[in-house]
Structure 1
């Protein structure tokens, strides 16, 4: 079983991945995917961290969100690492993808993301789907009937509240058990957009509440607990709202020892110190916690 956590290459996503690479905790069957969205120094630095620590990583060569792909001359290019065997070059199936880009070089792996049924039908008829080492597709019955080769299911489990709803409406809930069902459905791996979700916004959006997200396992089921600030009236005072949310996390964590990863404990420490690190650091630590949680589970249940 392989797990491909899918990240859009924002600053704090990349910093979380870089820190995880330096901690060297990911087993070989957890392979993060980065779809670059910005030409920032953290991108090649993150790729370098994985390469230097002999850990596999996927970078999407033709990103489809933001305008990164339209920037011809990159100031911070990841491609100097493309020949390293630890780096898997990925492509998203689009009308502009050519077969040559899907064929792996000697001793190299490639990955293809197919998101639309009609595009997969065309690629199947053209014989393009046999070359990539890994094929990520939505877990749809018609796609399972179409493709007979081993595939990886790609699904977005994150819930984004709409309209008048907030995370306070569902503070604890189911997140995923894809790995349990994967074998039954014929998949040899699973992929998701972690707690960040598939939705991408170039500039983000304000929130009335500050919410801390922690994933944790209950048996083989991955659940998510949300610690939401009590103040949700307007968009002001993020510092005060953070302290409201982190106080709830600090009170909850001692009763859940299995959730006490280094990243979760670092978040709880901000309640003790009454220090506001900024919401970007909060996001980074939440992502690190998710990867630390998944690493521990996969090492126990799917050892390589």
Structure 2
């Protein structure tokens, strides 16, 4: 079983991944996917951190969000690592994809992401899946796609929930998040992929929120759930520092009663800001939340899916 957590290459995503790589947290069968979205120094630094520790990593060669893919002259280029044996070259299938786009040097592993049924059908009719033979094929969990393909797949899910304009995360503070590994095993897939707690939606500049919310995944037996610690003050967009303290106080009260599996280093660091009465900034909060999710999944995989399985 392989898990491909999918990240857009924003600053806090890359900071989380780089720290995880340097700590050598992940087993070899958890392979992050990075879709570059910004020309920032953290991108090549993160890639270098994974490859320096000989851990596999996927980088999307044709990013489809933001304008990164349209920038001809990159200040922080990562392609000097594109022939590294642990780097997996990813490609998102689009209407402009050609067979040449899917070719890779001999011995280089590849990953193909097919988000649309029609584009996958066209690629199959052109025999691209047999001529280029990507090592991994990520597809949405649709029955018609499963019927179309006769090879093992990677299921690509988006489990993030975003409240509409009349709701906040306080309307659903706890709920089911995922049991994708069980469905993957049932259907004979190679593994599964998701957009972690961040979701597939991408916004270049983000958007303001009335509440500060800490998104924390945790296991109940073999079910992954998510708990949202929401600030009580949700009247306006002001005072993020005070709202953070309201939210982290709830986390600090909840965490000691949780099993050891849930008490990851990242989550303990986040909860410690309550006693320290320190506001690290919302970027650090997002980084630690993502690190916790990866640390949690690493613990689960080591217990249930050894690397050589």
TM-score, normalised with respect to structure 2 = 0.97
Partner of 1:140: 142
| Per-residue deviation, residues 161-203 of structure 1 (Å, max 9, x unmatched) | 1111111111111000010111222311100000000000010
C-alpha displacement at 1:102, in angstroms?
1.7
- Aligned-partner Cα distance in 2 for 1:207–1:297: 32
Partner of 1:193: 195
Partner of 2:117: 117
Partner of 2:183: 181
- Aligned-partner Cα distance in 2 for 1:153–1:186: 11
User: How do 1:39-58 and structure 2 match up within 5 A?
Assistant: 39-58=39-58
Residue from 146, 149, 169 that aligns with 1:167: 169
Partner of 2:61: 61
Partner of 2:79: 79
Partner of 1:100: 100
| Per-residue deviation, residues 199-228 of structure 1 (Å, max 9, x unmatched) | 000100000000001101111110001100
| Per-residue deviation, residues 26-78 of structure 1 (Å, max 9, x unmatched) | 11110000000000000000000000010000000000000000000100011
- Aligned-partner Cα distance in 2 for 1:57–1:188: 16
Residue from 251, 274, 297 that aligns with 2:300: 297
For these two proteins, the number of residue pairs brought into alignment is 304
C-alpha displacement at 1:98, in angstroms?
1.8
Give 3-state SS (helix, strand or coil) of 1:253's partner: helix
- Aligned-partner Cα distance in 1 for 2:136–2:105: 14
Q: Tell me, which stretches of 5 or more residues in structure 2 are unaligned?
A: none
Contact 1:4 1:32 in 2 (8 A): yes
RMSD of aligned Cα (Å): 0.8
Residue from 207, 210, 226 that aligns with 1:208: 210
- Aligned-partner Cα distance in 2 for 1:201–1:51: 29
Contact 1:104 1:132 in 2 (8 A): no
- Aligned-partner Cα distance in 1 for 2:128–2:294: 32
Q: Tell me, which stretches of 5 or more residues in structure 1 are unaligned?
A: none
Matched, 1:261 2:264: yes
- Aligned-partner Cα distance in 1 for 2:119–2:263: 43
- Aligned-partner Cα distance in 2 for 1:103–1:62: 13
Partner of 2:274: 271
| Per-residue deviation, residues 98-143 of structure 1 (Å, max 9, x unmatched) | 2123233222100000000000000001111231110000010000
- Aligned-partner Cα distance in 1 for 2:76–2:150: 39
Contact 1:129 1:135 in 2 (8 A): no
Compare 101-110 and 237-246 and name the one that shifted more: 101-110
